[in-house]
Amino acid sequence: MATRNITVPNKLLSVQDLTELLAKYCNAEQLAFVRKAYEFADKAHGGQMRKTGVPYIQHPLTAAHILAQMEIDVNIVVATLMHDVPEDTNVTIEEIELEFGPDIAGMIRGITKLGKLKYRGVERYIENLRKMFMAMAEDIRVMIIKFADRIHNLSTLEGLPEKKRERVAIESLEIYAPIANRLGMGEFKGLLEDLSFPYLFPKEYRQVKEIRDKAVSEKNIYLGQIIKKAAAELKKVNIEPVDIHGREKQLYSLFQKLQRKKWDVSGIHDVVAVRIVLKNLSDCYATLGTIHHIWTPLKGRIKDYIAQPKPNGYRSLHTTVFGEDGKVVEFQIRTEAMHEEAEYGVAAHWHYDENGTRLPAKDMRWAQELAKLQKEILTNIKDLEEMKVDFFKSRIFAFTPNGDVIDLPEDATPVDFAYHIHSEVGNKCNGAKINDQLVSLDTPLRSGDVVEIITDKNRKGPSPDWLKFVKTHLAKTRIKASLTANQSSWLKNFLQTGKK
């Protein structure tokens, strides 16, 4: 069970697919409760269809399936099945509460309140984040459902128009994934990122995937030998791991690392790593010792995230060694509890243990994390930028006064912005305001800026000087085109009238 990876089912599901999964940890009464919720939601959504052309019920059913793979509390599964009912059908929350009780209704109320996040101006954006954090503070389970909801939506993005696809992918990468990360939900963070990745950087996605596939096929047999040898040596010292397995690095996370390393794959040792899951803490350190006894560790690559956990609570021992034939291998060593927390984060607290009892939900790290995160994000927009993932170091998002988003490269200027709205806005651009302040036209824009372009309809055209500072290809081309056109019309005029 330590190797469980969440997969997004890509076939049509039946309620049996869900209950079969749940039967591993739920009793008959709970299964009946789930079935009742499914029938309730199915009836409420009636003949509604998804944009992809499948019955609407497939969406909540798949989201519930994703969560059931984590062996999550059955009430969360039930709420997930009905999460879109109040927003998309005539059935009210009151009716749900009557049938399913206040706990379920409370979660669905939280999700409905969240509504749909949209990029419409900084104010609305901040307002949406605020809503999200309030919902989280009230009941973190709402956020867990929201993640599953979003993961399924991302996996069916094909059904949406291109513009909308991009927006959903950006939101997921900018808002959802960092929150999942901060909540320690590595598995969800990875899915949110890897599902958004191809829509935002299709070319890079293919490159990274190729790099990973190559590394995996090269290392597979070799890792098999390493795992065998490690298991044998551990047995000699009476350590019985719960599980040893190979793990592939998530694609977007590999992409970020490749960028940091200037695309030098040879410097990245964890494209594929070996993970050893153990019963207790002392076994972890003993295992580290054994691994170092068999293979020589690389200098400076031993990391004790157990003694010093990462800020999001991640705990494990990492070491990179020279394996057989001097090939480099990374090991990740952890207990079962650490593994669960690393994959599922706060959601692990709603996970059933082997006895089927719910783990205590109190005194959790997430409460602290949440308070920190909330403070960070809501104090001002500047903090919001710090939270953004690397992606936003190379791209910025600026807003028109109407709240439309213009996506530009870093250090783009108001002139780039103007040409991205329309070439006429660019050609007639006479000045600009950033967040209500008049600025010079070469001022670098920052994410979240609200940019107002002041146009002058009598303006003849762009200034050749703009070519010295614009950052986008589009602006350059349009400026040049307009300058040439002006020149030729001036020339025509001169030839006809002899006047300059």
Under DSSP, the state recorded for 443 is P
Question: Alpha-carbon distance 405 to 121, whole Å?
Answer: 7
Q: 64 vs 278, which CB is nearer to Mn ion?
A: 64
CB of 113 to Mn ion, least distance (A): 14
Stretch that binds Mn ion, among 9-17, 78-86, 310-318, 363-371 (CB under 5 A): 78-86
* Residues that contact Mn ion, how many (by CB under 5 A): 2
Q: What are the angstrom distances between the C-alpha of 207 and each of 204, 216, 268?
A: 5, 14, 15
Comparing every residue's Cβ against Mn ion, the nearest one is 149
Using CB under 5 A as the binding rule, whether residue 84 contacts Mn ion is answered as yes
Q: Which two tokens stand for residue 175?
A: 């808002």
**Residue 149 in the binding site for Mn ion (CB under 5 A):** yes
Closer by beta carbon to Mn ion, 84 or else 449: 84
The single residue listed with the structure tokens 């036209």 is: 441
To the nearest whole angstrom, how small is the minimum distance from the Cβ of residue 148 to Mn ion? 9
Active site residue 411: no
Residue 171 sits in the site that holds Mn ion (CB under 5 A): no
Is residue 343 a contact point for Mn ion (CB under 5 A)? no
How many whole angstroms separate alpha carbon 179 and alpha carbon 346? 11
* 237 C-beta neighbours (distance < 10 Å), count: 12
Q: Which is nearer to Mn ion, 84 or 330 (CB)?
A: 84
Active-site annotation holder among 17, 87, 233, 410:
87
Q: In the numeric block, which tokens belong to residue 339? A: 């593994």
* CA pair distance 27, 244, nearest whole angstrom: 31
**Beta carbon nearer to Mn ion, 59 or 388:** 59
Residues 264, 318, 366, CA angle at the centre, nearest 5°?
A: 105
Residue 123 annotated in active site:
no
Minimum distance from residue 238 beta carbon to Mn ion (Å): 49
Q: Which of 17, 88, 248, 385 is catalytic?
A: 88
193: contact with Mn ion by CB under 5 A: no
Question: What is the footprint of Mn ion within residues 255-294 (CB under 5 A)?
Answer: none
d(CA 176, CA 118): 13
How many CA within 13 A on the CB side of residue 327? Answer: 15
Cβ proximity to Mn ion: between 143 and 317 the closer is 143
- The residue (of 84 and 174) whose beta carbon lies closer to Mn ion is 84
Q: How far is the CB of 19 from Mn ion (least distance, A)?
A: 21
CB of 43 to Mn ion, least distance (A): 17
Q: Cβ–Cβ contacts within 10 Å for residue 216, how many? A: 15
> Which stretch, 65-73, 144-152, 370-378, 486-494, contacts Mn ion (CB under 5 A)?
144-152
CB atoms within 10 A of CB 91: 17
Shortest distance (Å) from residue 144 CB to Mn ion: 13
Nearer residue to Mn ion within complex by CB, 167 or 365: 167
Phi, psi of 449 (to 5 degrees): -65, 140
The one segment of 89-97, 101-109, 147-155, 237-245 that binds Mn ion by CB under 5 A: 147-155
Give burial (CB, 10 Å; 0-12/13-18/19+) of 308.
exposed
Kindly state the tokens that stand for 46. Answer: 């009636």
- Shortest Å, Cβ 87 to Mn ion: 8
* Cα(332)–Cα(328) distance, integer angstroms: 14
Q: Would you tell me which residues interact with Mn ion (CB under 5 A)?
A: 84, 149
Catalytic residue set: 87-88
